[in-house]
Structure 1
Amino acid sequence: MLPNWKTTRLTGLELTGKYLEPRARIPPKYSHEDWTYNNNIKFRITCDQERLAERVVEESRRTVDERKDTTKNWQREVEHHLRERASEIRFLCDELNRQKKTALLEDEALSVYRDRVLNAIEFLKEKSLAINHRCLLLREGRIGVDLCDDEVDRELRQELKVIKGTQCLMDKVIKEATEQIRMLRSTMYLLDKDLEQKDVSLLIDEKNLKLRETQQNLGVGQDLTKHNCQYTLHEWEHKTHQNLETNSKQLNSASQLRAYIDLILKQFCEDMQNQTDRTNDAFESRIKETKYVKQCLENKHNDTLHHIEEVQRNMQQLEKEIADAHRSMTLCQTRLSNRARRPGLELTCDTVQDALYHELEALKATLCKLKQNLMENKASLRYLLHVQLMQEEEINIKANTIKIDEIDCMTIRQALKYQSF
């Protein structure tokens, strides 16, 4: 311990006395021990401060080296995680792009299938239904007994039933296809949104990978370092996988719907073509039957005309025979009248008189029978003429039916060709 020396130093004049007059004093002198002690103290303080400075410098250097190592280690760790994260995002982006491309192709394919169904509905409306109604309306133009509920009418009604049932089924398929396209586009929207966000995130991470400490303008902008993340990694993965899974389900549903539409269109074409063929077969059978009846009526009409001519000739012959019978009877009556003027005993009933009486009776009977035959021929002629008119009317009815079925209906039904839509 240093002694507690108290020293007083004056660097100038010391003011004393009443009037404060200056008085010179000699500065005190230190001892050699003081001088030595003071030097030792100063050396000691200097050494202590130097050692302290060395420790501080060494600690600083160690801290700097540790900071550099720690920074480099963490930067390598962060860059490694950034590269892993970027690789993971790229993989998911590739998967999302692949799913999106597949969804776009499926959307286009399903749109084509929907157009096929619309074409089938349009064909049903513009062709099948219109032609069926036209045939039913044309067949109402049949006349007479031909306006009957035949096999053709039944097949046309069955065809109409099949058309309406098919239309209902096609309308249902159109609604399903439209809804499936909407759902598919909804999933594509989610994929686009997810892709857009992942692209931005990938750009940010790639930019972070390229950043170096020596670059300028670091830290420029809004400080968001204290901005907390809103979602966990599990939520991030779950959302992306959910989008992919939803899209896969919609793709599967769309594929199944396309297969169903293919089956429906194929079945539609087969059913409609089969029903059309059955209706056409009924038309052809009815036309063939009507033509056969018409031919039979025409043959009978020719026979009737022949019988009419024969009856007319027979009537002419009967009229001639009746005229001859009248002349013969007049001759007989004249002879009897002449013999009635015989005089006296000559007015006897001899063989001549008996023969004349018998001739007259025979002529009367023959004339009566001839007149009766003439009346029967006239009645038969009237019946034959009536039959002729009836036959001609029936022939016209059959011709009208054949025209309606063969020319009007079958001509427009040739447009009913059900091919693949």
Structure 2
Amino acid sequence: MAAEVLITQQPVPQTIPVGSMPPKEHEVAYNTGQHSSSGLATAGFRTAKYLNEEWHQNNYARYYEAFADRDTSEKVRHESKRLADETEALAQRSQAESTRKLGQRLHDFHFWQAELQREIEDVTGETDLLLQQKRRLERALDASEVPYSLATDNLQCRERRLGPDLVRDVVEVELLKEVELIRNVQELLKRTLQQAVDQIRMNRDVKQTLEMDWSDKYEAYAIDEKCGRYNNQSTDIQFHHNSSKLDDFASTPESWAQFTHDNIERAERERLASINLRTLIDNILQDTAEDLRLQCATVDKAFAKRCQEVDDAKRKLEGHLRKVLEEIGDQENNIAALKQAIKDKETALRVAQTRLYQRTFRPHIELCKDPAHFRLVSEVEEILASIEALKHKLEEAEQSLKNLEDTRMSLEKEIAIKVNSLFIDRQKCMAHRTRYPTIMKLLGYD
């Protein structure tokens, strides 16, 4: 033959690894060798044609390729079905586990929401009780203004006492103590009231914190509950890329639980402080009310005792006044008697002096210093001495009467002072003190 065709030996089927394609042999024999049929005589018939062996080789290659591809495809199908089943089971298990975890999370939410709700109710109830105590403090503070005005009014009224009755007596001392006590009580009530206001504000702040925490958990509960209802048949699911990434400031389960625990613990501390403050307010109101009522009783007792003393002094003064008036009447009668006695003595003096005068007209030797003359002289001297004594006594009686009149005026003035003092203490002060608040008002009750 002018040209020879290269015949490739029939390939032997080899075992192909699973998952790999068999290498394809090049089935075209190029007529480029030394003995190729590339001569000029056959150029028109042999160019680019395959040999018979090449044809068979090509068929065998196609058979093997189809077999290998079918085998690989079957393996891929089996592996795909197995992988799909495994991934489906894994997805179902993962979804069930996620749903279970969401359910546990909902349980945690429910637990902390219940704890927050309980604490919110406790703080709210405690705040309401503290508000009642605050209103008691305000009413007690308002009620203390009445005793203060009464005490100051009593002191001002007693400044209108007259003369020696304007004295710093026990009543004034006790009234000053009462004023000082009321001022101290008012200062204490104001400080306690401010503490109550601050505690109420802190209670409301912590309540707001708890409510915000509860609200956040309620919103998160609704979100997780909605997430728990999602399944593969849900119609409102879609892809959200990068949704698994959380911000750096996201909390951990420990910090999440610790945050709510700290809020509840703070609320319990504030609630305990509020309870202690309510107890303190009760004790303060009880003590201040008792102190005020005790001082009020002391002042009333001092008033009663002072009024009794003034009344006794007034009765004694009135008794002395009656006696002075009687004595004035007797002294006036005595003065009248003395004047009459002097007048009578002057008549006797005129008689005696007239006798002596007439006897001076006796003639000559008859003008004798006889016993009658001496007796008349002695009578005149006796009468003059008696008149002088009576006049001296009359002066004493008139001075005594003047002193009695002065004493009467002094007694009447003193009695008037006592009457004024009794009017101030009884009609003004003690009558006004009947408006003193009751123990219930001082305790802050209506």
TM-score (norm 2): 0.84
**Do 2:27 and 2:54's aligned partners in 1 also have CA atoms closer than 8 Å?**
no
Partner of 2:36: none
Partner of 2:203: 184
Deviation, 1:66, is 0.7
The aligned amino acid for 1:2 is: Q
Change (3 A) 1:222 1:50: closer
What is the DSSP-based 3-state SS (H/G/I as helix, E as strand, rest coil) of the residue aligned with 1:414?
A: helix
Counting aligned pairs with the same residue, the percent is: 28
What is the DSSP-based 3-state SS (H/G/I as helix, E as strand, rest coil) of the residue aligned with 2:435?
A: coil
Distance of 2:61 and 2:27 partners within structure 1: 16
Of 369-378 and 85-94, deviating more is 369-378
The aligned amino acid for 1:163 is: I
**Do 1:272 and 1:418's aligned partners in 2 also have CA atoms closer than 8 Å?**
no
Partner of 1:129: 148
Instruction: Report whether the alignment pairs 1:388 with 2:402.
Output: no
Partner of 2:251: 231
Of 361-370 and 393-402, deviating more is 361-370
Distance of 2:28 and 2:323 partners within structure 1: 177
Change (3 A) 1:335 1:233: same
Equivalences, count = 409
Partner of 1:287: 307
Of 328-337 and 394-403, deviating more is 328-337
| CA offset digits 1:42-65 (Å, max 9, x no partner) | 554433333322221211111111
Distance of 1:6 and 1:85 partners within structure 2: 70
| CA offset digits 1:58-85 (Å, max 9, x no partner) | 1111111111211111112111111111
Deviation, 1:415, is 2.0
Change (3 A) 1:222 1:188: farther
Instruction: Report whether the alignment pairs 1:160 with 2:179.
Output: yes
Q: Which runs of 5+ in 2 are unaligned?
A: 1-8, 12-25, 31-39
| CA offset digits 1:199-253 (Å, max 9, x no partner) | 1110111001111111112127786333346111111111111001000000000
The aligned amino acid for 2:289 is: C
Partner of 2:269: 249
The aligned amino acid for 2:236 is: N
Partner of 1:144: 163
Distance of 2:49 and 2:172 partners within structure 1: 151
Instruction: Report whether the alignment pairs 1:2 with 2:13.
Output: no
| CA offset digits 1:315-369 (Å, max 9, x no partner) | 1111112111111221222222333333344444444334433332322222222
| CA offset digits 1:145-191 (Å, max 9, x no partner) | 11121112211221222122222222221222222122212211211
Partner of 2:232: 213
**Do 2:27 and 2:58's aligned partners in 1 also have CA atoms closer than 8 Å?**
no
Of 175-184 and 90-99, deviating more is 175-184
In structure 1, which of residues 75, 79, 82 is the aligned counterpart of residue 99 of structure 2? 79
Deviation, 1:418, is 4.6
| CA offset digits 1:94-135 (Å, max 9, x no partner) | 1101101111111121122122222222223x3132222222
Residue pairs, 1:341-360, within 5 angstroms: 341-360=361-380
**Do 1:297 and 1:391's aligned partners in 2 also have CA atoms closer than 8 Å?**
yes
Change (3 A) 1:6 1:178: closer
Deviation, 1:276, is 1.8
Distance of 2:50 and 2:131 partners within structure 1: 114
Instruction: Report whether the alignment pairs 1:67 with 2:75.
Output: no
Deviation, 1:5, is 7.2
Of 317-326 and 33-42, deviating more is 33-42
Instruction: Report whether the alignment pairs 1:337 with 2:345.
Output: no
Distance of 1:227 and 1:314 partners within structure 2: 125
Q: Which runs of 5+ in 1 are unaligned?
A: 9-16, 18-22
The aligned amino acid for 2:202 is: M
Partner of 2:396: 376
Distance of 2:102 and 2:122 partners within structure 1: 30
Change (3 A) 1:332 1:36: same
In structure 1, which of residues 283, 293, 301 is the aligned counterpart of residue 321 of structure 2? 301
**Do 2:199 and 2:274's aligned partners in 1 also have CA atoms closer than 8 Å?**
yes
| CA offset digits 1:289-314 (Å, max 9, x no partner) | 11111111111111111111111111
